[in-house]
Structure 1
Amino acid sequence: MFDIGWYSTQLLLKGKLLRDPIDFASKTIVTSSIALLILIPLALIKLPLCIPITVSSFIAGLIMPFLLKDFKIK
């Protein structure tokens, strides 16, 4: 399992893993921005910090499969 992860990391760093890395990066940035827009207002409320982080991470995790459903690798 470690070998598969290491091989994938090497391909990613060489630029041979993703077919369209700009599309992948833009969708990841969109999801991260949405999570950040949820995190900041929740963090400003006087709640323990673990709750806003958990909520924004959960929502980002729900959004990511829908954005990357047509994602292809080489």
Structure 2
Amino acid sequence: MTDANAPNLDHPDDFYARLLEAHEGLSKPESDALNARLILLMANCIGDGAVLEHLLDAARARGPAPGGTQTGASAGRGST
């Protein structure tokens, strides 16, 4: 399985700018709902359960989340 953190987008800055633009003017709950819908759409496009599990583990292993909430193995589910 490839490294989930390795660059893979042709134009990552363009995507990031578009992602920020999509959130403009939204409240925190609306922004959270947009993120949830986007995650589910992307998961559906990926379609491979093993890849999705790998990505979840990689996302949790990134360290403390904003606000100091610990993520990763020490916060519950360990990585495989």
Larger RCO (alpha carbons 8 Å, 6+ apart): 1
Greater percentage in helix: 1
Same topology, TM > 0.5: no
Report the TM-score when normalising by structure 1.
Answer: 0.36
With structure 2 as the length reference, what TM-score do the two structures score? 0.34
